[in-house]
Amino acid sequence: MSEIKKKSDYSFHESAVIDPGCKIGAGTKIWHFTHIMPGCEIGENCNFGQNVVVSPGVKLGRNVKVQNNVSIYTGVICEDDVFLGPSMVFTNIVNPRSAVIRRDEYVTTLVRKGATIGANATIVCGIEIGKFAFIGAGAVVIRDVPAYALVVGNPAKHIGWMSEYGHRLQFDAKGQATCPESKKKYILENNQVRKIS
């Protein structure tokens, strides 16, 4: 029978592989068949589903949720409260070739606070996903995504705006919208959204 083990302030399943030289914050949970590689930094209260790989040099903030079958490659930085959906994919080389070694050409991808990346989405390296952006399931993201933006499709297209609680925002004639769950208000100006309360 398998069991959960505790090391310091984080816990992990006995099938997980945690290499020496990584930093893992208190309260983090690491589940079945996950591999945490050396040199990565993981914040407090993160959760890793089954069959996840975190490569060297990856930086994850606090409360990052990583669902099953996600590989987070060198060059990826996720701020606090990011959600990575099942089987979503990051890349870290612009022009990969099996016969050409490009380990010194990894490109940085930045995922800002509170962003959500849906199941089976692909994030092409070298872009920034803005805070509280929402990437729909299966989207292929090839360019920067503004804060609070909702993008879907292949290639991903900007189709709307989302609240911090994950609800589609409906802006009135004055460019204002209210999240139906939190009741917080947002304003749309110059094709950018910000919270006003």
Over residues 15-46, the pLDDT tens digits come to: 999 999 999 999 999 999 999 999 999 999 99
- C-beta of residue 72 within 8 angstroms of C-beta of residue 53: yes
Domains of the chain: 4-96+103-164 (2.160.10.10)
**What is the Cα–Cα distance from 193 to 79, expressed in whole angstroms?**
19
pLDDT score recorded for residue 1 = 46
Using CA atoms, how far apart are residues 8 and 17, in angstroms rounded to an integer? 16
| Spatial separation of the C-alpha atoms in residues 58 and 9, rounded to whole Å | 20
- pTM for the full predicted model: 0.95
Q: What pLDDT, in 10s, does the model give residues 140-192?
A: 999 999 999 999 999 999 999 999 999 999 999 999 999 999 999 999 999 99
Kindly state the average pLDDT of the residues 62-87: 98
Q: What does the mean pLDDT of the chain come to?
A: 96
